[in-house]
A = this chain, B = another copy of it.
Amino acid sequence: MSNGGGVMSSTTHLLDFLEEPIPGVGTYDDFHTIDWVREKCKDRERHRKINAKKKESAWEFTKSLYDAWSGWLVVTLTGLASGALAGLIDIAADWLNDIKEGVCLNAMWFNHEQCCWGSNETTFAERDKCPQWKSWAGLILGQEEGPGSYIMNYFMYIYWALSFAFLAVLLVKVFAPYACGSGIPEIKTILSGFIIRGYLGKWTLLIKTVTLVLAVASGLSLGKEGPLVHVACCCGNIFSYLFPKYSKNEAKKREVLSAASAAGVSVAFGAPIGGVLFSLEEVSYYFPLKTLWRSFFAALVAAFVLRSINPFGNSRLVLFYVEYHTPWYLFELIPFILLGVFGGLWGAFFIKANIAWCRRRKSTRFGKYPILEVIFVAAITAVVAFPNPYTRQNTSELIKELFTDCGPLESSQLCQYRSQMNGSKAFVDASPNKPAGPGVYAAIWQLCLALIFKIIMTIFTFGLKVPAGLFIPSMAIGAIAGRIVGIAVEQLAYYHHDWLVFREWCEVGTDCITPGLYAMVGAAACLGGVTRMTVSLVVIVFELTGGLEYIVPLMAAVMTSKWVGDAFGREGIYESHIRLNGYPFLDAKEEFTHTTLAREVMRPRRSDPPLAVLTQDDLTVEELQGIINETSYNGFPVIVSKESQRLVGFALRRDITIAIENARRKQEGILLTSRVYFTQHAPTLPADSPRPLKLRSILDMSPFTVTDHTPMEIVVDIFRKLGLRQCLVTHNGIVLGVITKKNILEHLEELKEHTEPLASPWYYHKKRYPSSYGPDGQPRPRQHNVQLVTAFPGRQADEEESEEEVVNLLDGRGSTL
């Protein structure tokens, strides 16, 4: 624009100082990977500019203050909005869920519990029954009891469930396809530096909020906890648009999203610290300390807003507030670890089954009818769920009931123990372990059925085109299993109190087994098995109980569950879905254990056409456009000249295109024959040549480079830690190729296909580089898999590929230019 006329004269290059940035340069296309280093540099630059200006005037000073505080502001807003939305969703889902069973005559907008609060006629024991609350049978048929009304209620239950499910999937399909699923795999991918436009937009937020309520109310085997993280991230993304610091910088925006996901978990479970650790352990990629503070703050704000809304009506922050009064004993670690094993097995089974099903959905015709699929699953769920009280009720209420220990006031079927004192079931003293009554046995059968039902339905539900989290279903499965085990151990301790283990700890007449604790441990184990979280999970459950007492059982179960699960496959459900969907996500948790070198991964490979490079000062605009059109690479290394192929810098395809377009529009005299130069001074040209085009401003003069001998473990480390998009590979200062994030992911995928790359490197190598094997199947001299142990591990021993060969590799290149 203001590039100044005579670029060739040495004095006018000062005008470059005023050169405005070309609009569009430095932004990203949809479904592209961001360059963290570049983004962070941009932010520091912006910060420096504001700081330099701030002394100029009071207005600039105010602006700098606003800028400094915008980080806190945006997380506060995000926290407020997440808390409010979570409260809203809780209340609406509760209400809609009860609509399936009946309606409040006094006030339509009351749910079952609220409806009966106002009633004076209810006693505490029968607090669920009140004349104001009418079941559908009562309303339509006029009678609450009897087989006719049961069928009526059954029918209405299915009707409402199907209506909600249909509405949910319709809204998602028509308005916001991104609103389906839990959203956590995509958020992980986005946080790792990928652009998915609209995934965190206002439409997604709106539709996800509405359909989440519908999906939960439809009775499908899903939870609202995962989607709440997505909702919170949408809030974070939307509020970040108020602050240029965050809206214009993809790296900074991700800091807000990290904080938002902490707020999401914070409101999902009422566990602020657990939320921060979840964000740190599970979803975030780049998590500087500043983000830790802000995440913590956002999580707190969100939790307090939710507490003020008080959707659970118990003034408690947490979803499942429980208090246990008995300690645990060392021998109980055995059942806890068994629960851990169960959790791990369930997790591994669920991941395998769910991924297989989702792959089937993706690959076959079957996936073309998402609405039908949802209705079908919802119908089966409703039909099977209604007869069993443990599946009919809200899953989170079920979990709460299973977690809760039997007290004197507990009216649940699970607490119908035979009291030793008087044999009556009416009033049972809470403390000592007692023999189970018929109610408990009936409950156990129903729970077993519920367990099987939940296991099957969850596999088919997660992946439907409705918002669906799997924290709650997983926890429910674990809680059911845990409670059953807990009751079993309790009865064992009662009937066999002379066994060595029980004799030592469980005196007769005292309460030594808490079945509710087993349910909690089981829930944590199953959730751990599915997600492979550890610390954050333990902390979330710790925040539910509020006591350090039970951390050891939880830790034991969660760790066992992780180890057992990892034995079947190291990926959690979210990573598996990321891989299924092919998102470019470089997992920071997985160790790269192979011995490949950078030159084996870089492009071009041996059989590919040579690397497309640009020379710094002897291309014309036409030639440059030719190279761009012929190739599809995202960027090109710039070298000194064809003769001396030393690396000067790196230019992005998008930036070159924009810059050429911009120049041809705004600068006069730029023709197709104009020389393009990336150097500081224009090359000396014949007098009649057209005005040259200077592109130095889009040249990245500090590209990341590694040598061709760098072990891939280091390259992967660099990509992860610095968040690179690409890296150039050099040999003795000469450019050999490029490694992009995608190349690394492909390489990892290739390595993964071979179950035992370490045991059979030859086979593995042969498959990848058939050309390096002779006709007898024996390796030709040049291959790279035998390891030399030296001071620099990872070094390849056979270095047949000498200078000449590299030069040969380079020689072929000139032809493409």
Contact = CB atoms under 8 A, between A and B. Distances in A.
Contacts of A293: 534-535, 559
Contact of A646 (B292, B546, B733, B759): B733
A732 B22 contact: no
A468 interface: no
Contact of A51 (B711, B714, B734, B758): B758
Contacts of A710: 701-702
B789 A45 contact: yes
B646 A732 contact: yes
A256 to B, nearest CB: 17
Contacts of A555: 296-297, 300
B640 A732 contact: yes
Interface in A177-205: none
Nearest to A616: B732
A396 interface: no
A42 B730 CA distance: 23
B37 A717 contact: yes
Interface stretch (A123-131, A371-379, A431-439, A792-800): A792-800
B788 A16 contact: yes
Given A551-B272, A552-B304, A702-B710, A648 B732 contact: yes
A451 to B, nearest CB: 29
Given A40-B717, A698-B791, A55 B17 contact: no
A758 B791 contact: no
Contacts of A788: 16-17, 19, 697
Interface stretch (A410-418, A441-449, A588-596): A588-596
A655 B790 CA distance: 11
A272 B758 contact: no
Given A300-B555, A730-B733, A717 B709 contact: no
Contacts of A707: 649, 701-703, 705
Contact of A797 (B16, B538, B721): B16
A646 B734 contact: yes
Contact of A721 (B539, B713, B721): B721
Contacts of A273: 273, 539, 542
A711 B41 contact: yes
A539 B277 CA distance: 12
Contacts of A680: 799, 802
Contacts of A45: 787, 789, 793-794
Interface of A: 16-17, 19-22, 25-26, 37-38, 40-42, 44-45, 47-49, 51-52, 55, 272-273, 276, 280-281, 289, 292-293, 296-297, 300, 303-304, 317, 534-535, 538-539, 542-543, 546, 548, 551-552, 555, 559, 588-589, 591-593, 595, 598, 640, 646-649, 655, 680-681, 697-703, 705-707, 709-711, 713-714, 717-718, 721-722, 730, 732-734, 758-759, 786-795, 797, 799, 802
Those 10 A-B pairs whose CB atoms lie nearest each other, nearest first: A733-B733, A45-B793, A646-B733, A702-B710, A701-B709, A697-B790, A25-B791, A721-B721, A680-B799, A26-B791
18 contacts: A16-B788, A22-B791, A38-B791, A40-B717, A42-B793, A44-B592, A44-B794, A276-B535, A280-B292, A289-B589, A293-B534, A296-B555, A300-B551, A648-B732, A680-B799, A697-B792, A698-B790, A718-B722
